[in-house]
Amino acid sequence: MSEQNVTRPPAPPSDTSFAWSDARLLGFTQMDEVHKEFYTVARKLVTCTDATAADAIDEFEKHAVSHFEQEDEWMRSTNFPPRDCHLDEHAAVLKSVREVKEAVGLGQAGAELVRDLGMHLFDWFPGHADYLDSALAAWMTKQTMGGKPVVIRRKI
């Protein structure tokens, strides 16, 4: 059976695989705080029901616009050298979010599509953060503090 034919039930609230972890810290506090929020609102995507899908995708879109605009502004205002790929990824994610939101709003899709988008976001985000955002975090720390980020992770 192909993945496209599999119905995704909501992730149970007790599932910690979609929870923020200090392993995701990059050492630039402003970015780390936004990334924590990403996990909070993206988790609502993977746990939504048909009754909550529209609100979940709406909240995620608002977060993503704010999140990406902040990073985009940091890249532009500090002349971050490798920004084009980073900006392109943000635009692609927003395009997908808006397409899903439109389909839900028109009644053409429901929670299953929203949960699928959430799963894809959780698959995408670690690589994006580890490569693109970590480079930006290091750049921003160098610009604001004159050195590299220091990351202290709790062991829980």
Element (H, E) at 75: helix 53-77
C-alpha 52/C-alpha 42 separation (Å) is 13
pLDDT digits (tens, 9 = 90+) for 60-113: 999 999 999 999 999 999 999 888 999 999 999 999 999 999 999 999 999 999
Domain 28-142 belongs to what topology? Answer: Four Helix Bundle (Hemerythrin (Met), subunit A) (1.20.120)
pLDDT tens across 26-62, in order? 989 999 999 999 999 999 999 999 999 999 999 999 9
Residue 7 has pLDDT above 70, yes or no: no
- What is the pTM for the complete model shown? 0.84
Instruction: Name the DSSP class of 27.
Output: S
Domains of the chain, by residue range, sit at 28-142
Exposure pattern of 131-145 as b/e (b: 16+ CB <10 Å)?
A: ebbbbbbbbbbeeee
State the Cα–Cα distance between residues 152 and 87, nearest whole angstrom. Answer: 28
**Does the structure show a pLDDT above 70 at 17?**
no
